[in-house]
Amino acid sequence: MTEFSYDNIEKSIDVLHLNLSIAELAKLSEENSLTTDQMAAFDLLLEHLREKKIQTTINTLLKMSRLPLKNPKAFDNFDFSIVKGKDIDRLKALPSLAAIHAHKNLAFIGPAGIGKTHLAQAFGYECCQHGLKTYFIKMSELRDKFTSARRNGKEASVLNGLVRPSCLIIDEVGHCEFDKENTRLFFDLIDRRYIKEGSYNIIFTSNKNPSQWRNIFNEDDALLCALDRIFDDATVFTIRGESFRGRKLDRVALQIGKPIKKDASSSTAAD
């Protein structure tokens, strides 16, 4: 006998936002003497539509996130086995997304090529898989975005767009400087996300220690103290080691010898 589940049907109804209650469905089933096989077929159809809608939502979130869609950086393709340290379990726990539900910012600090951006993007990718809006932007792109917004009088619109995502990833902090006006927009962004409700966090990557970040902003110490809000409740992963880059590099060693002198008499028209 084919089985079906009212709980599963209710889950599908909720995801699909159907104007139908389980009580109504049960009454409809009784009135029309629907068999178990018929109800199971209905359950199967709704489950298919539910999964289809979920996947469509995930694909839309990934497209809007600015994360790479070709060969995406995910936790599944990050080699945790090469990472050592007593707190490795905290790194391995990132896929649980506990940080975003606990409103805890994350920072990955270390030299180039050790996987900082991979880990940040993997967190964002996982967020999209769970229906959480994500946005990835490099610090230099953020600076240019603010400058353009000021030039066109769209500061409010740009800030709203950056506050909205559940997970905001800012890559390569410290690779550029912010003038006074862009600095104020940056801290306005931090303040507004600090009081944001729901599941949210900011993820930073940098090759500079957070204590050096204030050097890239042009403002007085009073405003720069807002930097503390970033790390009010945060986890900073300081990663050391050799760069992953170039490990698949195939080096070919060649040597140039002395040129061979040709005899003039052996020259042909083809030469």
137 shares its domain with 229: yes
User: Which residue, 64, 87, 107, sits at the end of a domain?
Assistant: 64
Dihedral sign, Cα of residue 108, residue 113, residue 119, residue 124: positive
Pairwise CA distance, residues 69 & 4, whole Å:
36
pLDDT in the model for residue 136: 98
Q: Which residue has the tokens 């003497």?
A: 33
Of 144, 205, 149, 225, the residue nearest 177 (C-alpha): 144
Residues 148-169 have a mean pLDDT of: 97
CA distances from 213 to 82, 109, 159, 162, 207 (A): 29, 12, 21, 20, 10
271 domain-assigned: no
- Does 46 score more than 80 pLDDT? yes
- Does 214 score more than 90 pLDDT? no
146 shares its domain with 188: yes
Confidence band, pLDDT 50/70/90 cuts, at residue 215: confident
122 shares its domain with 224: yes
- Does 1 score more than 80 pLDDT? no
91 shares its domain with 206: yes
Crossing angle of helices 155-163 and 180-194, in 10° steps, is 40
90 domain-assigned: yes
Confidence band, pLDDT 50/70/90 cuts, at residue 179: very high
**What 3-state class would DSSP assign to 81?**
helix
Pairwise CA distance, residues 104 & 229, whole Å:
11
pLDDT in the model for residue 9: 95
177 shares its domain with 73: yes
262 domain-assigned: no
Strands 234-238 and 201-206: what pairing? unpaired
Highest-confidence segment of 78-87, 134-143, 187-196, 250-259: 134-143
By CB atoms closer than 10 A (0-12, 13-18, 19+), residue 109 is buried
Dihedral sign, Cα of residue 47, residue 57, residue 123, residue 185: negative
What is the count of structural domains for the chain? 2
244 domain-assigned: no
Q: Assign residue 201 the CATH number of its domain.
A: 3.40.50.300
247 domain-assigned: no
pLDDT in the model for residue 104: 94
Q: From the DSSP assignment, how many helices (H) and strands (E) are in the chain?
A: 11, 5
32 shares its domain with 84: no
Pairwise CA distance, residues 83 & 159, whole Å:
36
The DSSP secondary-structure symbol of 112 reads T
pLDDT in the model for residue 248: 55
249 domain-assigned: no
Pairwise CA distance, residues 195 & 177, whole Å:
26
Confidence band, pLDDT 50/70/90 cuts, at residue 212: confident
Question: Which two structure tokens, joined as six digits, stand for 134?
Answer: 């994500």
15 shares its domain with 89: no
Give pLDDT tens digits for 226-253. Answer: 677 788 889 999 998 766 554 555 666 6
55 shares its domain with 83: no
User: Which residue, 37, 64, 91, sits at the end of a domain?
Assistant: 64
Give pLDDT tens digits for 110-146. Answer: 998 899 999 999 999 999 999 999 999 999 999 999 9
167 shares its domain with 83: yes
35 shares its domain with 124: no
- Does 222 score more than 60 pLDDT? no
Question: Which two structure tokens, joined as six digits, stand for 185?
Answer: 């927009």
Structural domain including 41 reads 6-64
The DSSP secondary-structure symbol of 113 reads T
Dihedral of the CA atoms 29, 32, 38, 44 (nearest 10)? -40
58 shares its domain with 153: no
265 domain-assigned: no
> Which of 266 and 5 is assigned the larger pLDDT?
5
58 domain-assigned: yes
16 shares its domain with 41: yes
